[in-house]
Structure 1
Amino acid sequence: MDKLPKIAVPFIITLVFLIILISKSAVTIGPGEGGVLFERFGDGINTEHTYGEGFHIVAPWNDMLVHRVRQQSVSDEMNVLSVNGLEVKVNGTIWYEPEFSNLGKLIKTKGADYERELLDPAVNAAARSVVGRYTPEQLYSSKRDVIEQEILEEVTNLLDGQYLTVKKVLVEDVKLPPTIKDAIERKLKQEQESLEYEFRLVTADKEAQKQRIEAQGKADANKILSASLTDKILQDKGIEATIKLSESSNSKVIVIGSGDSGMPIILGNQ
């Protein structure tokens, strides 16, 4: 077997070195991710530029720190106190995202684990502040949407200028001690039954008023009709009816004399 030419050895060594260099320098940033450069022989993390999705070449002595920059969520259960000092458990979810252009500043000031270092304390502080304004009954029933909005506003204020944006807060569940929960549910049920009973009373009263109005209307109509029916009108109407009956081929009418009111008396017909 022939020996390799002397020039081939350094060529192969150079090629291997280049392959290793390229593999160390090539970085691919995936969808929904951003990268910041850690310059080992410079000032550390470069806060001036955030790298977007795609293929990038960096110096082999530098490192590319890749983090998700699209919207993401974190869920947690927090033990907080209501306005009267009762301990309740709140299950919630926070939707947030890092500011893409300030990703380097976020990591430099708060570290790569910025969620634990920055977001969690802010959310817990906001939840304690907001929940502490309400009674257990308000937390359990009617104030859920208001609480969510207030927590969002509190977190937004706490994270102002921290390069992290909270998009939405969802309070999924509020857990109360069983005795308190049962008492609230009984009270809510009684209030509902009371509202239903009051509705039935109002409905019955309206129906009674309607019947009284209809009865009064009929009475007024009869009164007006009675006042308009004089003896002369009744007599004329009776004569008209008698004439029509006498003209019928199927009837025999015998009229003799008249009644006390002057109306004809019909004795027989067919």
Structure 2
Amino acid sequence: MEKLPKAGILFAIGIVLAIIILFKSSVNIGAGEAGVLFNFFSGVDTSKTYGEGFHIIAPWNDMTEFRVKQQSFSDSMEVLSVNGLKVTVEGTVWFQPEYDNLPRLYKEKGANYVETILDPAINAATRSVVGRYTPEQLYSSKKEIIVSEIMSELTKELKGQYLTVNKVFVKEVKLPPKINDAIERKLRQEQEAQEYEFRLVKAQKEAERQRIDAQGKAAANDILSKSLTDKILMEKGIEATLKLAESPNSKVIVVGSSDNGGLPIILGNQ
């Protein structure tokens, strides 16, 4: 009879141990994540990346999970322009670890690779790009150009680091207040000068148009004056006289003498 309680206790202990072992041996990796196995005897297993779902491992081993879907890292940093002035750059980088090389990333760079690898690479790339420009160039340059250059430099910095950069976004480039105000004043003055130049050119073109128009009219009048001979004037005068004679309105018409070519002179019209 005494053996039954002992057997029950041993059975209960066995069940508990089995549950503990099963709990320690089972791993469920979530969506968008992957696992790296750390073997108690040999260290990080670099031969395999464990994907989503349920996995059974030896209880003395350990599984470390990482996000492998695209993620972002935002930062604000002070860098120097080409003439030594401080510039603040705010931006965001979208990246993800290389799935097949995740075990190597963990073994060589550690679990906190964002702080140890990505952040320094972003700083180095940004300093390299911003250091090529003056504050005036940074103010007027299109962000797309800066983004493209940072992306290129960042890709070089992360070569062989088991990380893929998908996109770089520069939110803002802040210049020192005095430099920023001076650049804005200069741009306003340039804009005003361009507007004045535009108005001046427009006025010059209008004056030229009027001059050409006046020359055209003068030339036309000169041609007309030369073409009006005495005979033509006499003919026009006769035509006018005939039209006046046909008009029903009462009037007095005196036909001119030979001094005016016989053109009609209207003395009255009612």
Give your verdict on TM over 0.5. yes
Is the 1:28–1:56 Cα contact (8 Å) retained in structure 2?
yes
Q: 1:221 to 1:12 in 2, by over 3 A?
A: farther
Q: 1:23 to 1:223 in 2, by over 3 A?
A: farther
Give the distance between the partners of 1:30 and 1:238, measured in 2 at CA.
108
* Alignment length (residue pairs): 265
Runs of 5+ in structure 2 lacking a partner?
none
For normalisation by structure 2, the TM-score amounts to: 0.83
Give the distance between the partners of 1:179 and 1:121, measured in 2 at CA.
30
For the aligned residue pairs, the C-alpha RMSD in angstroms reads 2.8
Local SS of the residue matching 1:266? strand
Shift of 1:5: 10
> C-alpha deviations, 1:200-257, integer Å up to 9, x for none?
2222222222222222222233333333333322332332233233223x32354443
Written as runs of structure 1 = structure 2, the 5 A alignment for 1:1-270 is 16-41=16-41, 43-142=42-141, 144-248=143-247, 250-259=248-257, 260-270=260-270
Is the 1:36–1:104 Cα contact (8 Å) retained in structure 2?
yes
Worse overlay, 201-210 or 254-263: 254-263
Give the distance between the partners of 2:60 and 2:250, measured in 1 at CA.
131
Runs of 5+ in structure 1 lacking a partner?
none
For normalisation by structure 1, the TM-score amounts to: 0.83
> C-alpha deviations, 1:134-183, integer Å up to 9, x for none?
21222233254333222221111111121111222233233333333333
Give the distance between the partners of 2:160 and 2:85, measured in 1 at CA.
34
Q: 1:236 to 1:48 in 2, by over 3 A?
A: farther
Is the 1:122–1:155 Cα contact (8 Å) retained in structure 2?
yes
Q: 1:261 to 1:32 in 2, by over 3 A?
A: farther
> C-alpha deviations, 1:81-101, integer Å up to 9, x for none?
222222332222222211122
Local SS of the residue matching 1:85? coil
Shift of 1:11: 6.6
Q: 1:186 to 1:266 in 2, by over 3 A?
A: closer
Is the 1:246–1:252 Cα contact (8 Å) retained in structure 2?
no
Shift of 1:16: 4.8
Is the 1:32–1:53 Cα contact (8 Å) retained in structure 2?
yes
Is the 2:237–2:262 Cα contact (8 Å) retained in structure 1?
no
Give the distance between the partners of 2:215 and 2:58, measured in 1 at CA.
99
Q: 1:60 to 1:226 in 2, by over 3 A?
A: farther
Q: 1:32 to 1:225 in 2, by over 3 A?
A: farther
Shift of 1:113: 0.6
Q: Percent identity?
A: 64
Q: 1:266 to 1:208 in 2, by over 3 A?
A: closer
